[in-house]
Amino acid sequence: MEGYDYKLAYDYTEMFRGLLADYPYFSRHVKEEIGWAKQHLRKRDRITWYLRWIRLYDYNAVATGLFTNTPQYQQVHGPAKPFDLQMVDKYEQLVRKESAKLGHASAPILSRELVESHARKQELLDHYLGLPVPEIQNLVWDRQAPSYLFATFHDMEAQWKEETRGVLQPRPGDRPAITFGDGWAWWMLDRGYCEEEARAMGHCGNIAGQYNEDQRILSLRQSVRRGSEEYYEPHLTFVLDTRDSSLGEMKGKGNAKPTARYHPYIVKLLESDVVSKVKGGGYLPENNFKLSDLPQKEQDRLVQQKPSLMSFAYRLGKEGETKAFVRDLTRTLGRKGEKDSWYMPKRHGFLINSYTLKEFLEEFGDEDSQGAADVLEGRASISTGIGEDEGYWAGWGGKKGVSPLEDTLSAMGMTTLMMAEKYYRGLAAEVPYDQVRRSSAGPVDGILKFISQNRLVAESNAIAEAWKEGRKAGAMASMRKELDSALDSVLGRRLEDGTIFYRPDPGAWNSDIEHILPTEEAAAIADQGQTFDEYFEGWDQDVWTPTVEFDVPPQGWPGWGYWAAEAALREHYSHGQEEEPRRETRKRRKSSPEGR
């Protein structure tokens, strides 16, 4: 396998001979890839280029053991077994060898560019190879990285569109379907793909029509004269499915969206018997003409005249999110689930994904926000001393000139201080507590003097530990407030792609986060002729991905959680005592009638 000359592989299965001998599981996958490449790429250099990158991806899947964890593999072979280290080593060598031949040290990563979003990449190859651009058609496919090849095609197409300003003459069999008497007409072509249309319009001419005998091109053309000859300049290219008289792709020049200038011609087409309904779809479906592009009165008139033209966007505006509407929209989008549980009425949209706080921040947060969540959810600790757990230590936030012990005791309620005094009275000490208390300014002063005069290190440490607990609690409360603020900057607002992140229970700060596609956006996807899977496969998250930005105070987190410190001291002082009922001592009681 390794020494086989791929340039002679007319039977392209030979390129995968060794892989299939080791892992017959790949047979169906290899057969499908070869079949697609032969049908769509047609030239040997293109086919070989494509299959080499597919093969490299497969080699790497074996070397890393990823494919054995797929449900498809385990359904055939049972649960994944421990790595065969000898086989892993063999395929790691093959990956390095093939990467060297391709001249890319990161070739395994580059192979993922082709395989991930696979259908989208195949659609792009179809699109580019359908363009009548000599530079694209004559390019030799050798060792280019997939991303480089696609970028090259993109630039060649852009240059070709800039240079293309063409007219054409009809072929035999093409005929005007709707004429307007001003030199304009909708032409019905007798085929689903037209190279001349592609060249004049700066698009692919509906390359997919080569493989679909039911498609026909509807071309809006204007009669022009060049010298003594009559030519036609195409302005719009629509694709008609003759099985149900529905319109699919509906574009202007360069795959641009038809402008309002052309709406009168489009309305006449929709009113005619040529068209029954609009489905959308195809390349760049968001650029298709939509019924919602027309003024509302025009939409109402057309739908009343021909109800089959009603779009989901139109129906949503008139009907709202009724059960029937959601059911029909769900079926059209192709998403299935038990009782359509992924549609969320309270959110007025569809659930794309659900994240725990940890998962959400790993995907959309910066390092500091992830670290804060780890602390708040107990996966990491927060330090109360400088130099430990850098970035999260709790800076001193007490009063100047006041020790942490005094600061801690001063924050305690009278109930806790009474417990402390009772505790210290029962403590065997050289100097009795009551003797010290009588010469003190108050309970806090008395406790500190008692500890000092009796050199009670353990008691001093207990109060210091309570202070640390208060510092931690206060710092974590400040951290949580900052993280809430950072999350609120992202959650609940519409992103550039139209989706929204929600926290189902704002009161529970670490509740799961839902990614919602609003119903109006889902209706637009359906009107574009796409399913959910097709839409999300072409998603470019780099364009819209939000970022949770979280700032760590340079001097540590402020805050004082007296409740945590008090709880620690109450636990310490309650040993061997029956805890007295908590009383509210900070508010003055009204005196009873008897006491007046």
Q: What is the pLDDT of residues 243-290, one digit of tens each?
A: 989 898 999 988 999 999 999 999 999 999 999 988 888 788 888 998
410 shares a domain with 293: no
Query: What's the mean pLDDT in 233-246?
Result: 92
Angstrom distance (rounded) from CA 219 to CA 244: 19
Please report how the helices 562-573 and 414-425 are oriented relative to each other, as an axis angle in degrees rounded to 10.
30
Does the pLDDT of residue 592 top 70, yes or no?
no
Q: Is residue 530 a part of any domain in this protein?
A: no
Residue 31 — pLDDT band, cuts 50, 70, 90?
very high
55 shares a domain with 155: yes
Please say whether the beta carbons of 351 and 545 come within 8 A.
Answer: no
Residue 587 — pLDDT band, cuts 50, 70, 90?
very low
Angstrom distance (rounded) from CA 428 to CA 495: 67
Query: What's the mean pLDDT in 425-453?
Result: 88
Angstrom distance (rounded) from CA 526 to CA 535: 10
Residue 401 — pLDDT band, cuts 50, 70, 90?
low
Q: Is residue 360 a part of any domain in this protein?
A: no
Would you state the pLDDT for residue 365?
A: 85
The pTM (predicted TM-score) of the whole model is 0.56
Cβ-based neighbours of 80, under 8 Å, separated by 6 or more: 65, 68, 69, 73, 74
Q: What share of the chain is helix, strand, coil (3-state, %, to 5)?
A: 55, 10, 35
Q: Is residue 551 a part of any domain in this protein?
A: no
Condensed to tens digits (0 to 9), the pLDDT of residues 480-532 reads: 888 888 888 888 888 777 888 888 776 676 788 888 889 988 888 888 888 87
DSSP summary character for residue 76: H
419 shares a domain with 568: yes
Q: Alpha carbon 241 to chain centroid distance?
A: 33
Q: Give the domain range for residue 401.
A: 370-485+559-573
As a whole number, the mean pLDDT across the chain is 81
Q: Is residue 547 a part of any domain in this protein?
A: no
**What 3-state class would DSSP assign to 349?**
strand
The pair of three-digit structure tokens given for residue 117, joined into one six-digit string: 């979003």
Q: Is residue 594 a part of any domain in this protein?
A: no
Would you state the pLDDT for residue 142?
A: 92
Most confident of the following: 14-23, 389-398, 499-508: 14-23
Among 46-50, 218-222, 266-270, 395-399, the least confident range: 395-399
Would you state the pLDDT for residue 199?
A: 85
Query: What's the mean pLDDT in 408-420?
Result: 86
Angle at 346 (CA atoms; ends 332, 353), nearest 5 degrees: 60
Would you state the pLDDT for residue 81?
A: 53
152 shares a domain with 201: no
Query: What's the mean pLDDT in 400-408?
Result: 73
Would you state the pLDDT for residue 402?
A: 64
Q: Is residue 346 a part of any domain in this protein?
A: no
Please give the C-alpha separations between residue 510 and each of 103, 260, 374, 481, in angstroms, as whole numbers: 47, 48, 11, 12
Does the pLDDT of residue 218 top 90, yes or no?
yes
157 shares a domain with 183: no
CA-CA-CA-CA torsion sign (133, 134, 135, 141): positive
Would you state the pLDDT for residue 374?
A: 86
259 shares a domain with 110: no
Angle at 371 (CA atoms; ends 367, 377), nearest 5 degrees: 145
Among 20-34, 40-54, 109-123, the least confident range: 109-123
Does the pLDDT of residue 452 top 70, yes or no?
yes
136 shares a domain with 85: yes
Does the pLDDT of residue 241 top 50, yes or no?
yes
Condensed to tens digits (0 to 9), the pLDDT of residues 106-154 reads: 877 777 777 777 788 888 899 999 887 889 999 999 999 888 999 999 9
Does the pLDDT of residue 549 top 50, yes or no?
yes
152 shares a domain with 82: yes
267 shares a domain with 136: no
Q: How many domains does the chain have?
A: 3
Q: Is residue 56 a part of any domain in this protein?
A: yes
149 shares a domain with 10: yes
Strands 277-278 and 175-179: unpaired
259 shares a domain with 399: no
Please say whether the beta carbons of 320 and 329 come within 8 A.
Answer: no
Single residue among 108, 134, 162 that ends a domain in this structure = 162
Does the pLDDT of residue 240 top 50, yes or no?
yes
Would you state the pLDDT for residue 511?
A: 80
Does the pLDDT of residue 25 top 90, yes or no?
no
Would you state the pLDDT for residue 257?
A: 93
Query: What's the mean pLDDT in 447-466?
Result: 90
156 shares a domain with 22: yes
Condensed to tens digits (0 to 9), the pLDDT of residues 167-206 reads: 788 889 999 999 998 899 999 999 999 888 888 888 888 8
Would you state the pLDDT for residue 271?
A: 93
Q: Is residue 151 a part of any domain in this protein?
A: yes
